Every structure is written in C-alpha cells, then in structure tokens.
Chain A
Amino acid sequence: MDFHTLIQILDSTIRLATPLLLACLAGLYSERAGIFDIGLEGKMLAAAFFSAALAAMTGNVWLGLLAGIAASLALSALHGLASITFRGNQLISGVAINFLAAGLTVLVAQDWFRQGGRTPALSGNGRFAPIDLPLADTLRDVPGLGPVYAELISGHSVLVYAAFLAVPATWWLLYRTRFGLRLRAVGENPAAVDTAGVSVVGLRYGAVMICGVLCGIAGAYLATALQAGFVKDMTAGRGFIALAALIFAKWRPWQAMWATLLFGFLQAVALRYQNIDIAGITIPVQVMDALPYILTVVILAGFVGKAIPPRAGGEPYVKER
C-alpha cells in the first residue's frame, strides 16, 4: 500500500466516521443523563429523509439540515415524553422510534416523490460541498505534510468539521461547566440532584434534546453530504455502531472520537478493498463489509474490559422520601 492510498483510506475514514461520531456524542449526552437511547438509528434515519426531502424541494441544503434536526428533535421529544415524563421503559421507547422511522421515511418518501421510497438525487446547493481550507492547493505538492493537509484535513464538508469540533466542546461542557456537572450527576444519582434543588426532569430533557440535535446533524450529513439523497434504510445500523462505540469509549468524548474513527477506518477499508487475497485465499467482499458489525458484537460482548455505564441509566426517576 503506498502513501497515497493510505491518505485516501484515511480521508475516507474521516468521512465515514463523521456520522458515527455525531451519533455517538448524541448518545453520550443522553446516556450520561441516565436516559438510554437505542433510538439513535431511527432519529438519524428520520433526519436523513427530511433533510434530503427539504433540500430536494427547496434546493437549499441549509433548510434541509434544519428540517433534519427538527425531525430528530420531534422523535427525541417523543422519547423524552415516554421515558422521562411517563417513566416508561427506555429500551421499548427506543425500539418503537426505530420502527417508526424505518416505516415512516419510506412511506412518506413514496408519497411525496414516487421514486420507490427515495428522494430525488441532490446536486448543487442541495448538498453540502467540500470546503477547501486556505492554501490547500499551494501546499499540495509539499512532500509529506502537503497531501495530508490538502486531502486529509482540507476538502470536507462543514458538518465534518463541526463533528470533530464537537468533541472538545463536549469535553469542555461535561467537565468544566455547571451544566456538565449536573448532567453527569443526574445520570449517576438523580436523587442527589433532586435534593440539591435542581430539576431532574429539566436536565434530562435538556440532554435528550441535545441528543436530538446531534442525531439530526448526523442524519442530514448522511443524506446531503456523504450521499446525494435519501434511500431506504440508509443508516444501515450506524446508530447501533455508535452505541457500541459509546460503550467502547466508556462514555467519554475523546475516546468516543477514537472509537468512531476505528469503526470508520474499518468501513473505509471494506469499501476500498472489496476482495482481499491473503496467501492465495480470497476473502469475499461480504466478510469485509461485515467487519464493523463484527467488531460491534465483539465490543458489546465485553471484550474491551469493564465498561461501567452511568449508574442511574435506564431507570426512570421516581421521587421517594
């Protein structure tokens, strides 16, 4: 593998890791506040469809992004209502949201566009274009660092940069602000937060809404930046991979970034090398495609050491004396 191929694979890694990273951070906010969210997948899918639909209808990708976030927020609000206000089972609410999104997106897509459950292909202002960072072209020919800057770092859509900036921002919010302290506390022991005179419900809704926004961006990125339009089930389990990455990262933001980059890397390798010959045996494409999912299973089976989730996670808060 030469240097140029490596750069290309890493470039592709960043693109593929971005939706995972956004969804992983989304899950981080929610779960740190004690609300388990397996509905990341459904929220991303809904956001992907509505962002592509609005972008296709208006030709403006920013309106598409807003529509995607709004759709994801609506599902977040539903999850919040079920699991915070009505103290329902968070897993069941999440599963319901996944089913709802999977069915609804295709149904509405067919009704609106009549293209077999897709949106029309996006082009021009209907998509997020790559951004060339300053001096990218000038530095391209500098040996070594030139291609790294010009191809790896420059030339991504604005959402990619936003996703990676969200990592330090999340870290700062979590560990350096009052909101972060309370958010972490409410996921560990909501009674402590309640007796300290802070609203458990308010904090948890706040976290679930942040989760909604991030999932919305992740979905919009899939349909309007990574791809050019919505197709059925286009999230392809990314919401669940993001959850595995979240466990892998033990609910910490920097580790979440590395974990999602690892998954993105596997996806990039699978895309690049459809068939690999090792010692005369051809590994079929399906094996490569399955790699990220296999890693997910391995992680969830507990091969990464003990991951202790937020202690109050999944438990509705009932005030007792």
Chain B
Amino acid sequence: MNASATPPAIELRGISKAFGPVQANRDISLSVAPGTIHGIIGENGAGKSTLMSILYGFYKADSGDILINGRKTAIPDSQAAIRAGIGMVFQHFKLVENFTVLENVVLGAEDGRLLRPSLARARRILKDLARDYGLDVDPDAVIEEIGVGMQQRVEILKALYRQAEILILDEPTGVLTPSEADQLFRILHRLKDEGKTIILITHKLREIMDATDTVSVMRRGEMTATLRTADTSPEELAELMVGRKVLLRVDKAPARPSRKVLQIENLRVADDKSVERVKGIDLDVHAGEIVGIAGVAGNGQSELLELLGGMRPGTGTVRLNGAVLPLEGAGADGQARRRAGIAHVPEDRQREGLIMEFHAWENVAFGYHHDPAYQKNRLWMDNAALRADTERKIGKFDIRPADAWLTARNFSGGNQQKIVVAREIERNPDLLLVGQPTRGVDIGAIEFIHKQIVALRDSGCAVLLVSVELEEILSLADRVVVMFDGRIMGERLPGETDERELGLLMAGVGSQAA
C-alpha cells in the first residue's frame, strides 16, 4: 500500500444480496474517503437501506467484501459493526421512549455490571461531546418528552459514545423542520471537520446537493453512478435515479380560482386522546385552485383532513358549496362526505386508503360500493363490472403490475397510491382532500400523481393538499397556508416565498396571525 495515500474509510467490493427471487443489491462497489460526506440517493426499493443494513450487520451479504480503513472486516452482527467504528442513525429511531437520554446512550455500552459508574462516566462524556460538536441535549430528559430533533441528536450521541468514526444516517430529515434540518447539517459538517466519515442516505436531491462531497446513485439494486457533487446537477441525479428524464418542477398553468367550494369557520378538532389539535381555524378553498397546508407533522393538519373526510368529529362551521356540513353524529361519516362530493386520499394509504390483503379490484370499490354501476340488482354486486372498471383504471393510471387480482400488499408504494388516487379522482369530486400524496412514492410516480392533481384542478375541482414535503407544497400549491400548533400561522403565494420563510412559520416563529 502506498504510504502517502490514506485508504478509504469504507470500501465495498462486489456486494450482492437477494431476498428470495428479489435481487436487492447486485454487485455493488463503493469507496468513501475518510473525512467526507458521501450521499447515497435512490428511489424507494432501490436497495439503499439493504446495503446499509449489510454494513451495520443486520443482514449478511450473499457475496462481496467490506473493507474498513483498508482492512477486510467481517460484520456478522451489530456488535461487530460498532467495534469496527460504524454508527447508524436509523430513519425510525431505536430509542427506549421512557428512558432518559443518559440511559439510552449507555444501553448496550455499559462499563460494568453496575449502572451508576457507567452513567456517571457517560454524563461526563456527553458534556464533552456537546462542547465539541454542538450536540446539546439534557442528559436527564426522558425521550418521549423531547422533540424529534433532540431524539435524533441522542441517536448521533449514541454512535459517538461508542466511538464511531463512520456515521450512517438513513433519511435523517424526514421528520425535521427545515431549521432543524439546517442544524443537523451544521452538526454533520462539524463532525466531518473532526475527521469523521459520514454516509447520508436520502431521496431529497436538494440535501445531496447542499451537504455532500460525493454522491452515489442506486437504481434497482445496482449502483449506477458515483460522482463528485460539485460536478453534477439535480436534473442529472434525477435522471440517473429513474432511468429517464424527469420533470422536477410541476408544469402547470396559473390557477383560475372561481366560486368558494369549501368554507371553514372557527373549526376545532380534538384527537383520540381528547387533546385539541385544531384550535379554531378559518380557511376558504375555491374551485380551480390547490391550497397547500404546510407544517411539521403533528400540528393539526392530519386532524383537519380527517374531520373534512368524515373520520373525526369537531366543532365550528364547514360549508361545502354553501351548504353546512354536519361535523358530528349522523351524516358526518365518510360515506356522507363522498355523497356530498368530497373525495379523500388519506395520509396513510396502507391503513386508511386500502385493505392490504384485498385484491386491487376490491380496493377500487371502497367508499363507492353503493355506486349503481357496481350493482347487479338490489342484492348482488356486479363484480364483473367492478373488475372491468378496475382494468380501465389500471390502464389509465399506468398501475403496475397490471393485474386487478393482485392484493394491495403486492404493489409498490407508488402503485398502491395510484390505486387510491384513481379511485378518488375518477369521481370528479367538488373537493379533493389529499394527504401526503407522494410519501414513500418513487419519483416517476410522483410526477404522474402531481399531473393528475393539477388536471383535476384545471377541470374546476377544489383541492386541499396536506404535505410535510415543502418542495411538494411549493411546486404544487397555488396558495400555501402554514399550520403550527393547531392554528394558521400565515398564508403565502408560492412565487413570493421560499423554504426559509415557510420554515420559520412552521416552527411558530414570526408570523402574521391569519
């Protein structure tokens, strides 16, 4: 080995991994220089998480070698990964909710059989880490009582406490506000300056462009390219991810809003635990416009959508085309709302939008099974007609595989969402409620779903969009409303604002009350 060249912090050689007939990783090679931030980008199901799970000892590769600092290393379990200096921050945090920060940091890395000396030492080390990297967290705070941004810091601290030199972060900004994300990237840069190597897995092109030194693109289990970030562009990366040219911005004409379709006055909605989540909001949505509600998850947007969709009671006044909608009791269920002309693409398609064990054609009927077109007579449903209708939707929405008999579970996230969108949009509703339309959906399908929503708007439908993805709100909505803590913090036009300003509103800072 050349003495002057430092070996890569991580080198993968020909890693392959199959789950049954699915080849999750095929002959992947990767080399990451120490002290750099390396991005890995790819669509859902491209094999990013599988690759990182192999690196963290969760899965064993079918073939291939892992080299850490130039030395071949076997990683049969997480313990071995930790010993090799690898730390992982998972997308879904692996924290014990009712433990303190200190206990979570110490768990599994205790000094001896007794707890007190371990905790005392960890407290000292946490203080040092806070000073060195700006990772301030109260060591005695209980996890369930601190915010997700803080929880993520605890995950990073856990890795650093185990003396990780290589830090892998899997979709770290999914749950963060823009300002929390900025803080995270500041911390990552400090870690990098201290010589740590960071691997950032994400599907957000902007993060790759902003934060990384080099970037690898994965598609269908293969590593399609590794580039210097400075030498590439979001357009090029998107094309490498999807395998064809992708329109990153939504192509739409200016909205031509007309009559008021939805009028909300002083609406209040409580969640399952009777905590008030929507605290008196007023909002109008016109025919022919898309109103986007931005906000960090958990600030009342979900409850608002659920109320309008008839899934949750509330108080206040809601008018649809001038007529008052009942907000509780009889006539306030999903069936009544659909009959009134409201279609609903719920936020969690797997729990609220589909029954995962049912066939595609059965799922297409849900909510509309009383439709006369699906009835043979008063007693029997006309399943043949329903299946024919499903076949037509499958063709029109390019749902793959094109098989009405497949259960919902067997479609990818994007195609599941297309089934839901096809069912709801095809009714020509007066008002379309859309929650997180592209969560866990690949870029190609995002483009298609966005086009469908815009087409519906142009045909005169009012659209209320809730999304935690600011990019999506900014590109799709004609008006942006920001919710924080159950209230509307402000309203902006997408052309006259940016992520920074919206981010502040989303964090509840500096606003004109609406």
Verify if B495 is at the interface (C-beta below 8 Å from A). Answer: no
| A192 interface neighbour in B82, B95, B118, Cβ under 8 Å | B95
Q: Which residues of B contact A (CB under 8 A)?
A: 49-50, 53, 56, 58-59, 77-79, 81-82, 88, 90, 94-99, 103-104, 106-110, 112-116, 118, 158
Give Cα A182–Cα B104 distance, bound, in whole angstroms: 10
Could you jot down 23 A-B contacts, CB within 8 Å?
A175-B115, A176-B115, A178-B115, A181-B106, A181-B107, A181-B115, A185-B96, A185-B99, A185-B107, A188-B99, A191-B94, A192-B94, A192-B107, A193-B107, A196-B94, A196-B107, A197-B82, A198-B79, A198-B108, A311-B98, A319-B58, A321-B50, A321-B53
- Kindly list 5 other residue pairs between chains A and B, CB separation below 8 angstroms, not including A176-B114, A188-B99, A321-B53: A176-B115, A184-B96, A185-B107, A195-B88, A196-B94
Shortest beta-carbon distance from B390 to chain A in Å? 31
Which chain A residues border B58 with CB–CB below 8 Å?
A: 319, 321
- A194 CB–B CB distance under 8 Å: yes
Chain A residues with CB below 8 A from B59, complex form? 321
| Inter-chain contact B78/A194, CB cutoff 8 Å | yes
Known interface pairs A192-B104, A196-B78; A176-B116 also in contact (CB < 8 Å):
yes
A180 at interface, CB cutoff 8 A: yes
**B108 in contact with A182 (CB, 8 Å):** yes
Chain B residues with CB under 8 Å of A175's CB are 115
Asked if A115 CB lies within 8 Å of chain B CBs, one says no
Interface flag for A254 (CB, 8 Å): no
Q: Which chain A residues border B56 with CB–CB below 8 Å?
A: 195
Interface contact A195-B53, CB-CB below 8 Å: no
Most chain A C-beta atoms within 10 Å of own C-beta, residue among B96, B106, B109, B158: B96
Query: Chain A residues near B94 (CB, 8 Å)?
Result: 189, 191-192, 194-196
In the A-B complex, the 8 residue pairs with the smallest Cβ-Cβ separation, listed nearest first, are A196-B108, A197-B79, A192-B94, A178-B110, A321-B53, A197-B78, A195-B94, A198-B108
User: Number of A residues whose C-beta is below 8 Å from B?
Assistant: 23
A residues sitting closer than 8 Å to B (CB atoms) are 175-182, 184-185, 188-189, 191-198, 311, 319, 321
A321 to B106, CA, bound (A): 22
Specify which of B49, B53, B78, B158 lies most central, judged by the most chain A CB atoms within 10 Å of its CB: B78
Report A181 CB to chain B, min CB distance, Å: 6
* Chain A at the B interface: SS class: helix
Q: Which residue, B95, B109, B112, has most C-beta atoms of chain A within 10 A?
A: B95
Is the pair A181, B103 in contact by a Cβ cutoff of 8 Å? yes
- Residues of B within 8 Å of A194, CB to CB, are 78, 94
Minimum Cβ distance to chain B for residue A187 (Å): 9
The verdict on A197 contacting B118 (CB below 8 Å), with A177-B113, A189-B97, A321-B50 known, is no
Chain B nearest CB, measured from A309 CB (Å): 12
Residues in chain B near residue A178, CB distance under 8 A? 110, 112-115, 118
CA distance A191 to B158 in the complex (A): 14
Least CB distance from A281 to B in Å reads 43
CB-defined contacts of A193 to chain B, threshold 8 Å: 107-108
A321: nearest chain-B partner, CB-CB = B53
Q: What's the Cα separation between A191 and B58 when bound, in Å?
A: 11
Task: Report the Cα distance A188→B97, complex, angstroms.
Answer: 8
- Contact call A189/B96, Cβ cutoff below 8 A: yes
Interface contact B107-A179, CB-CB below 8 Å = no
Task: Give chain B nearest CB distance to A193 CB in angstroms.
Answer: 7
Greatest chain B CB density within 10 A among A177, A197, A319 is at A197
What CA separation (Å) do A198 and B97 show in the bound complex?
A: 18
Q: Is the CB of B49 within 8 A of A180?
A: no
On whether A182 and B98 interact (CB within 8 A), knowing A319-B58, A321-B49, the answer reads no
Alpha-carbon gap, A192 to B96, bound state (A): 7
Query: What's the minimum C-beta distance from A186 to chain B, rounded to whole angstroms?
Result: 9
Q: Please give, as numbers and ranges, the residues of chain A lying within 8 Å of B90 by CB-CB distance.
A: 195
List residues of chain A with CB within 8 A of the CB of B118.
178
Q: In the assembly, what is the distance between CA of A176 and CA of B107, in Å?
A: 13
Q: Which of B78, B79, B97, B107 has the most CB of A within 10 A?
A: B107
> In the complex, which residues of chain B have a beta carbon less than 8 angstroms from the beta carbon of A180?
115
* Contact A195:B78 (CB < 8 A) given known A181-B103, A188-B97, A188-B98: yes
User: In chain A, what residue has the closest Cβ to B116?
Assistant: A176
**Complex interface: chain A residues within 8 A of B106 (CB):** 181
For the complex formed, measure the closest distance between the CB of B160 and the CB atoms of chain A, giving whole angstroms: 14
Residue numbers in B under 8 Å from A188 (CB-CB): 96-99
B107 engages A182 (CB within 8 Å): yes
A289 to B170, CA, bound (A): 59
CA A67 – CA B469 in complex, angstroms?
63
* Known A188-B99, A321-B50: A181·B82 in contact at CB below 8 Å: no
Could you tell me the distance between the alpha carbons of A177 and B96 in the complex, rounded to whole angstroms? Answer: 17
- A residues in contact with B78, CB < 8 Å: 194-197
Which residues from B are CB-within-8-Å of A197?
A: 77-79, 81-82, 108
A185, chain B: closest CB distance, angstroms: 5
B45 to chain A, nearest CB (A): 12
